[in-house]
Structure 1
Amino acid sequence: MVVLKISFLATLMFAKYAAAIWPIPASYEHGSEVVWIDRTTKWEFDCPNGLDPLIDRRVRRAIDRAKHTTLNKQLVPWKFKPPGVDFDPPTDGRYHSTIRRVIIQQLSSNETRAPAYEQMDESYELYLPGPKGIQSTDSELLETLIQKYGRMSIAYIIAPKSAGLIQALTTFSQLFYAHTKNGVYSPLAPVAIKDKPKFVHRGVNLDTSRQWYPKAAILRVIDGMAWNKFNRLHFHVTDSQSWPLEVPSMPELALKGAYYKGLHYSTSDVQDIYMYAEDRGIQVIMEIDMPGHTSSIGLAYPTLITGQNIQPLWTNVAAQPPSGHLKLNNTNVEDFLTSLFNDVVPRLIPYCKYFHTGGDEVNKNIYLLDEGVKSADHAVIKPYLERFLKHAHDAVRKNGATPFVWEEMVLDWGVDLPKDVIVQAWLGDESVKGAVTKGYRVIAGTYQNWYLDCGNGQWLDFHNDSFYPYNDWCGPKKNWRAMYSYDPANGLSAGQAKLVLGGEVHIWSEQIDEYSIDSTVWPRAGAAGEVLWSGRRDAQGKNRTFSDASPRLAEIRERMVNWGIAASPIMQLWCHQHDGDCQYPDTA
């Protein structure tokens, strides 16, 4: 539920600030008075006894980032004011309305470094004082802290666990703006926020096989995720096109599978990515897709792959070139998987207890070429596929991780997997419903709404004009409004919806790379970020409106640009400066 209480003292000048937080909190009350924050403000972490030192350091680094962002990377909001309006607040009496302390309180030391879904708690409370101090609230936690620290000139951030503090600090920085001359202020005081996410899995799926992404580009994606309160990076690290992952016990995989010498992620690179994400409240779930999408393995281990790069009629045996699947009913493949998971998974477990084994777009025709199968019959292939998955998942579990699969394994092939397996659905609402009906926990994210790569046209070459105008398979482009319209639990009963852990937006990289990823992903993905954090519907059970969302999304876009993300604008600047005048009339 979202509660917005706006003071009657709010002026028109400050009206546009009223809900300028993305994603919108569950409960948000604010006024219209100005408070300042500056370099003399003390940020203090009141940590519980017995807190894991690793978690303690994580929170302190989050505080340092929030302090830097709040004081040095603030937005001058001229784009959201009519031309010629002097929107800066007066600086008279600034000394008496400056926040002197920010108290950050973690309530519990009972926290694991990489919590499972059922252990997660990202809830928080945030209180910003007005010039007359913190207002009375119904929060017993806040009142206890006020008794300890005081009511005047103190902001409070309270959360049970570190994940909540990290999310709260992100919200805190969005409450402030830069004065055009000097200083940082919030025009919203006093503020009282109680917040928690609707879904525990709020993800971005990044394909790093079809194009090469330097580590810095991946870290930039993580930054954008954190600012939009995503908490899972789905690291689709390998595919048919390349194998950019170093596996020390199998060095030939990256040496022969990368696009060019050195274009791979070393074990140190992977650790850096996981640690960088962890510091920002994000867990990274690696995917090594199988048994399809594995022809890059054949560059190092050709005997493990069937149907390697069949040309020119690859369309008979693959969704896209190059073709190639891991063989089924093959002990050498099983030994390879055991060695692979024994090498890779243990290094990831400190940061995340989940691992994705893929399973999409398995082509039955390719198994006519597999000497262990020699059939394209679904009934013949299925038991071999079950054996393959059992072996792979047993190896994943033995190393401490819970497996993910794509929906086809349980819905198209009918493989009866244990219910600890998490199913990722991408083909639509019926897929989500089908998986939860079978009792699986599900990650949603249909291509019809949450594929960020769609609408760029075909990337294949053609010998004739029969495919004109060369549209891609999933076009048109999914604009932010289409992304904002999607509900991961659409059409489900309350009981079924409980099995939906959340969703992901997808970045398939046929036509996206390090240079275009910022403007392709942001701020569109942020629309899904609010759906996953706040829910598709408001406190009255109605779908949130575009007119409410667009100014807030536009503002987070401007903040992201300030923070170094080359996000695209969502509408023309005139619309931002003339609030409400770009609404399409109900009767045109």
Structure 2
Amino acid sequence: MRCTALAIALLVAFGWTPAPGAALGADDLIYGYECSNGVCRKVELSEENFARAISLPVCRLFCGSNIGTLWPKPTGAVQLEPLTRQVDVATIQFHLAGVDKKDKLWQATEQRWLDLLEAKIPNRKSLKEGGYQLNIVLNTADNGVPARLQLDTDESYELNIGSNSAGQITANITAVNFFGARHGLETLNQLIVYDDIRREIQVAANASISDAPVYKWRGLLLDTSRNYFSVKAIKRTLDGMAMVKLNTFHWHITDSHSFPLEVSKRPELAKLGAYTPSKVYTHSDVADIVEYGRVRGIRVMPEFDSPAHVGEGWQHKNMTACFNAQPWNKYCVEPPCGQLDPTVDGMYDVLEDIFSDMFKLHNPDVFHMGGDEVSVACWNSSPSIRNWMTQRGWGLSEADFMRLWGHYQTEALSRVDRVANGSHTPIILWTSTLTNEPYIDDYLNPLRYIIQIWTTGNDKVIKKILKRGYRIIVSNYDALYLDCGGGGWVTDGNNWCSPYIGWQKVYQNNLTKIAGDYEHHVLGAEAAIWSEQIDEYTLDNRFWPRASALAERLWSNPSEGWRQAESRLLLHRERLVENGIGAEALQPQWCLQNENECPVDAYTQRSDGLWLASQLGLLLVGVLICACNKLHMKVCE
């Protein structure tokens, strides 16, 4: 149906005005949506349906589910009255209860919220003026004085929205602290949508939401050593994390490939180790990123990976083994090789200086000491290390080299405690030979160490670690390594952890199933990007929106499968793009606009049985072809 002059007149009457320079005529098609049987259906606007037609975001706000625009889904009760009010964006007011003057953190938080709102408006000039005044009232038990995010921080919140006949809408957010209140603001922003038919910002008029995360550790890991990422790119990642209530940015800042971190007492590390002088994270850069994350409810946790994964920057110190050794595959898993030499006493002074800067800049509540992929062959290739061990009556077996590693870990940990003023900060280590039996019992105290799992989700080692009382963070590579699925870079074919991991697998990665009876020891999970084949130009579409799938798993731990989330994720992906994040496209946009028309479900959506029969037939043909190929039968030719 073509738009008639009457339809155009109706649009103008409802506040719609054409964009500057736009031509309206009989060839213009203008669409809206109607809620039908719990699904938003696309309709062409006409005189008959205009009064009930709404934009897609408005329709999705209420149709079929009261969480249609929310990501991640709340864990508590949600009540939304199917009614919206126009918001006067020029008169929005924030009130922090009991506080006369807000600090910079609250001011930055409010400005970010307004920026998110502004991103919803495609054309300010065509926005319909007027509407209800929105008052946002923030109530926190800490009297507005924000503390740092810690493992025991209560991130819960309650949001209540109400409107009155005096033309005002009040959104009350109640939380224990800044971090919960910030999450409440994020949810409120998702309940505000742009109606592109009436050209106005609308909000759910009456709503009530009670919400809290299931897991306390909800993170992303970014490796900035293999390839350098600008501060701008890192901030963009933090923006995406905030939108889905992820709370930990795990900064794998150094590795054997480069040392891009300024260390005040050891400037040679970055001078020798950075790719170029401009690819160094200065103290100012780090402080900027840490504060940027704090505004968004995110801890920025540094990792200094050691004793392996150490190389560039350590030249001329005589503190490493197998530095850039060749052929590299004899000494490490990828080039360049390099490990710290635990027998050099002066090396621990260098570590202390690195740790000191990291603690001053990050003030971490948890610290990551790496422990990834230590190579016995690397240490065994060093005559000085072998001599040091034999002089103490040690052998050169795996157990002896684990003893050497235990010595390193004890000495390095004492330096961490020294710079942390004896606070005994919890320490994270990757799963490794040291976390296997029997070494884990000899060298790692479960009261002090948290183990980050990188092996597969069904690895039997996981429950062996859990039953000993260790808390864990899950990063099983078969579901949460988001760099998987590329070409090989040290050989042909695909990279080691291929294939590519779809968002559905991320969403279905259930930590309850992984941990079994020991789920109470699971802090949460992280998705990881190791950057051998990724840089800041491909970063966004590797993280997003798959990291959003992880966010809902960790916030809500949904009992339903990925299908119930798909239509919401498509809408959420548009929100990411709207805010400048280059999230990967999941489907043609047609699928977003035609809800539930794309997914295939042979048992519920195909009634004639012919489709299922045809699929079974194709399957049978495939089996026969396989069998023929194996037997080299003539009929296959």
Q: Same fold (TM over 0.5)?
A: yes
Deviations 1:508-563 (A, max 9, x none): 001110101011111111100110111132xxxxxx23332112111111111111
Deviations 1:395-446 (A, max 9, x none): 1122223321112132264353222222111113334323222211111110
Q: Secondary structure at the match of 1:288?
A: strand
Deviations 1:270-307 (A, max 9, x none): 11111110111000110010011001243352x11101
Deviations 1:448-472 (A, max 9, x none): 0011100012112x4xxxx5xx021
Query: Paired residues, what number?
Result: 528
Cα 1:432–1:226 change in 2 (3 A) is farther
Matched, 1:104 2:127: no
Alignment of 1:88-103 (within 5 A): 98-103=132-137
Matched, 1:388 2:403: no
Identity of aligned residues (%): 30
Q: State the shift of 1:75 in Å.
A: 6.3
Normalization by structure 1: what TM-score? 0.84
| 1:122 aligned to which of 155, 158, 178 | 155
Q: State the shift of 1:112 in Å.
A: 6.0
Q: Which residue of 1 aligns with 2:293?
A: 277
| 2:73 aligned to which of 15, 21, 24 | 24
Deviations 1:327-368 (A, max 9, x none): 12331222322333234323321xx22221100111111111
Matched, 1:402 2:402: no
Cα 1:513–1:196 change in 2 (3 A) is same
Cα 1:577–1:364 change in 2 (3 A) is same
Cα 1:222–1:300 change in 2 (3 A) is farther
Does structure 1 conserve the Cα–Cα contact (< 8 Å) formed by 2:485 and 2:497? yes
Matched, 1:183 2:210: no
Q: Secondary structure at the match of 2:555?
A: helix
Cα 1:209–1:586 change in 2 (3 A) is same
Q: State the shift of 1:15 in Å.
A: 5.0
| 1:321 aligned to which of 331, 335, 340 | 335
Task: List 4+ stretches of structure 1 deviating above 6 A.
Answer: 6-12
Cα 1:421–1:256 change in 2 (3 A) is same
Does structure 1 conserve the Cα–Cα contact (< 8 Å) formed by 2:193 and 2:202? yes
| 1:416 aligned to which of 420, 443, 446 | 443
Q: State the shift of 1:46 in Å.
A: 2.6
Matched, 1:528 2:550: yes
Does structure 2 conserve the Cα–Cα contact (< 8 Å) formed by 1:75 and 1:558? no
Q: Secondary structure at the match of 1:586?
A: coil
| 1:439 aligned to which of 461, 469, 476 | 469
Counterparts of 1:248 and 1:178, CA distance in 2: 49
Q: Secondary structure at the match of 2:205?
A: strand
Does structure 2 conserve the Cα–Cα contact (< 8 Å) formed by 1:35 and 1:99? no
Q: Which residue of 2 aligns with 1:80?
A: none
Structure having the higher Rg: 2
Q: State the shift of 1:391 in Å.
A: 1.2
Kindly indicate whether structure 1 or structure 2 has the higher relative contact order, using CA contacts under 8 Å at least 6 residues apart.
Answer: 1
Amino acid at match of 1:502: G
Normalization by structure 2: what TM-score? 0.78
Q: Which runs of 5+ in 2 are unaligned?
A: 1-34, 42-53, 388-394, 604-611, 613-637
Q: State the shift of 1:477 in Å.
A: 0.5
Does structure 2 conserve the Cα–Cα contact (< 8 Å) formed by 1:547 and 1:580? no
Alignment of 1:45-444 (within 5 A): 45-48=95-98, 56-70=103-117, 72-74=118-120, 98-109=132-143, 113-118=147-152, 120-130=153-163, 153-180=169-196, 182-186=199-203, 188-299=204-315, 301=317, 303-311=318-326, 313-349=327-363, 352-370=364-382, 371-373=384-386, 377-400=397-420, 401-408=425-432, 409-411=434-436, 413-414=439-440, 415-418=442-445, 419-429=447-457, 430=459, 431-444=461-474
Amino acid at match of 1:246: E
Cα 1:38–1:258 change in 2 (3 A) is same
Counterparts of 2:551 and 2:345, CA distance in 1: 43
Matched, 1:517 2:525: no
Counterparts of 2:428 and 2:38, CA distance in 1: 52
Q: State the shift of 1:255 in Å.
A: 0.2
Deviations 1:206-231 (A, max 9, x none): 00000011111111111111111110
Does structure 2 conserve the Cα–Cα contact (< 8 Å) formed by 1:108 and 1:161? yes
Counterparts of 1:124 and 1:73, CA distance in 2: 25
Counterparts of 2:84 and 2:163, CA distance in 1: 7
Does structure 2 conserve the Cα–Cα contact (< 8 Å) formed by 1:24 and 1:534? yes
Does structure 2 conserve the Cα–Cα contact (< 8 Å) formed by 1:287 and 1:356? yes
Does structure 1 conserve the Cα–Cα contact (< 8 Å) formed by 2:96 and 2:144? no
Q: State the shift of 1:491 in Å.
A: 4.1
Cα 1:112–1:185 change in 2 (3 A) is closer
CA RMSD, Structure 1 to Structure 2 (Å): 2.8
Q: Which residue of 1 aligns with 2:498?
A: 475
Amino acid at match of 2:498: G
Q: State the shift of 1:585 in Å.
A: 2.1
Deviations 1:77-117 (A, max 9, x none): xxxxxxxxxxx99x8xx96x724422222233396622421
Cα 1:10–1:481 change in 2 (3 A) is closer
| 2:519 aligned to which of 477, 497, 512 | 497
Q: Which runs of 5+ in 1 are unaligned?
A: 1-5, 77-87, 134-150, 538-543
Q: State the shift of 1:493 in Å.
A: 4.1
